[in-house]
Structure 1
Amino acid sequence: MVKMSLDNPPGVAAPFGDRFAHVARVDVAGGALLMLAGQVAVDDAGQVVAPGDAGAQAERIFEIVAGLLEAHGSSLADVLFIRTFMTDLGDLPAYAAVRRRLFPAAEAGRPPASTTVEVSRLFLPGAVLEVEVTAVAGAPKLA
């Protein structure tokens, strides 16, 4: 039996205008697949953190992502796939430094699958990154 649900955990700021769910969850035997909506670097009031600074924004985004995963019994160690939208691929080194620290290849033998694309702009002025994550919860750790 498969059960699907949408969630906005109370420990993470609500999505803008409640127009979407932060997490789509599909429960299956022995675990769940978590698909997180794209996250940008905002504070609890919805203001962009460190406008234009890819490294600082990456830190905030993954802090939000970790909170969403934790609310569903998961963690960054359970991330399967990361999709990143960047307004300038020249910011890739700053973003990659954060990713390498949070997702060390040696820990699991390999980092998550990933796609990174450059876009002309994001929906909030000053936001230079948006990150979507797919993870598992309640399943055996990745080999």
Structure 2
Amino acid sequence: MTAFTLDNPAGVPSSPRKAFSNVAVIPLGERTLLMLAGQVAWDDDHQIVGAGDLRAQTRRVMELIGQVLAAHGATLADVVSLRTFLTDISHIREYGEARNECFQGLPAPTSTTVEVSSLFVPEALIEVEATAVI
């Protein structure tokens, strides 16, 4: 018996060649844990949105996170943790400002942000993983 399910919600770009699932859904009795795979700012054709623009990419990533959450009855208000990978940490303020726009009026989730030398999509400036509890 599997204690979790893996899902690629309709309307959310899945990984090329279905290399990974967008979310693991883990029942915890009265609650459910949603562990989202890292999202990059791509469109349905796996083309990066906002090339060279961290703010635009952050907004797109948060939009995709919101879509994955919505498919499971959750919203950004249910996010308890974010793990962010930036290709240039000197732009952390831009990321923070764009992220805060998306979480406006909500408690800030726990957050870890690190710099990486590159991401799996060369044009991507950011990748964000999220964990939510519903």
In structure 2, the residue matched to 1:72 is: 72
Q: Kindly provide the CA deviation profile for residues 63-97 of structure 1, in whole angstroms up to 9, marking residues without a partner as x.
A: 00000000001000000000000000121111111
TM-score (norm 1): 0.88
**Equivalent residues, number:** 133
Partners of 1:107 and 1:127 in 2: CA distance: 27
- Aligned match of 2:119 in 111, 118, 122? 122
1:52-91 equivalent positions in 2, closer than 5 A: 52-91=52-91
Contact 2:80 2:110 in 1 (8 A): yes
* Contact persistence 2:33–2:131 (CA under 8 A): yes
* C-alpha displacement of 1:53: 1.0
Letter in 2 for 1:122: L
CA distance in 2 between counterparts of 1:133 and 1:92 reads: 17
Structure 2 Cα separation of the partners of residues 107 and 62 of structure 1: 14
TM-score, structure 2 as length reference: 0.94
- Contact kept? 2:24, 2:35, Cα under 8 Å: yes
Matches of 1:107 and 1:84, distance apart in 2: 18
- TM-superposed CA distance for 1:107, in Å, is 3.7
Paired with 1:28 and 1:126, the residues of 2 have a C-alpha distance of 37
Aligned-pair RMSD on alpha carbons? 1.3
Residue 26 of structure 1 aligns with an amino acid whose one-letter code is I
Output aligned runs, 1:104-123, within 5 Å. 104=104, 107-108=106-107, 111-123=108-120
| Runs of 4+ with deviation above 6 angstroms | none
**Does structure 2 conserve the Cα–Cα contact (< 8 Å) formed by 1:3 and 1:28?**
no
Return the offset for 1:116: 0.2
| Residue number in structure 2 paired with 1:140 | none
In the TM superposition, 1:1-143 aligns within 5 A as 3-104=3-104, 107-108=106-107, 111-137=108-134
Query: 5+ residue gaps in structure 2?
Result: none
The answer for unaligned runs of 5 or more in structure 1 is 138-143
Task: Give secondary structure in 1 for the equivalent of 2:111.
Answer: strand
